[in-house]
Amino acid sequence: MKEYSQDLSSLIDNEFDDQEIIDAVLEDVELQQQFSRYQLIGDVLREESDGLDLRVDVTDSVMAAIAGEMQDDNVVPLATPEKQDTNVVPFMKRFGQYAIAASVAGVVVVSSLIVNQDDATDASSTPVLNTVPFGGAAAPVSLQATPAQTENDIKERNERLEALMKDHQLQLQTKP
Partner 1 sequence: MKHRLFLVALVSLVSLIVSPQLMASSEQTQSQIVETEQTDSPSALTYLNNMKQAYNNLNYTLLYLNTAQNQIQPKQLIHGVIDGKRITYFTYLNGAMRESLQFDGKISFYQQGSQPYSLLSHQDQSVFADITNFDFKSGNRNYEYIILGKDRIAGKKAIAIRMISKDNYRYSYIVWLDLDSYLPLRLDVIDKSNVILEQTMVVSMKISNTVSPWIKQLSIKATPDILNLSQNSAAEMADWNVDWLPTGFKVIKDDQHKLMMHDTDPVSYLMLNDGIVSVSVYISNKKALLADQKNIIQRGATLIYTKQINSVEVNIIGEIPLVTAEKIAASVKLVH
Nearer to partner 1, 35 or 127 (CB): 127
CA distance 142 to 125: 10
Q: Does 40 bind partner 1 (CB under 8 A)?
A: no
Contact assessment for residue 158 and residue 106, using Cβ atoms and an 8 Å cutoff: no
Dihedral of CA 17/20/26/29: which sign?
Answer: negative
Q: Does 143 bind partner 1 (CB under 8 A)?
A: yes
Q: Does 155 bind partner 1 (CB under 8 A)?
A: no
Nearer to partner 1, 21 or 161 (CB): 161
In angstroms, what is the minimal distance from the CB of 78 to partner 1?
A: 25
Contact assessment for residue 102 and residue 108, using Cβ atoms and an 8 Å cutoff: yes
Contact assessment for residue 147 and residue 124, using Cβ atoms and an 8 Å cutoff: yes
Q: Does 133 bind partner 1 (CB under 8 A)?
A: yes
Determine the interface stretch with partner 1 among 2-10, 26-34, 35-43, 86-94 (rule: CB under 8 A): 86-94
x/- letters, 20..39, toward partner 1 (CB under 8 A) = --------------------
Task: Give the ranges where the chain is alpha helix by DSSP (H).
Answer: 2-12, 19-27, 29-45, 59-72, 91-105, 109-119, 151-173
Looking at residue 46, what DSSP letter applies?
A: T
Determine which residue in the list 51, 78, 91, 118 makes contact with partner 1, applying CB under 8 A.
91
Determine which residue in the list 121, 135, 138, 139 makes contact with partner 1, applying CB under 8 A.
135
Q: Does 99 bind partner 1 (CB under 8 A)?
A: yes
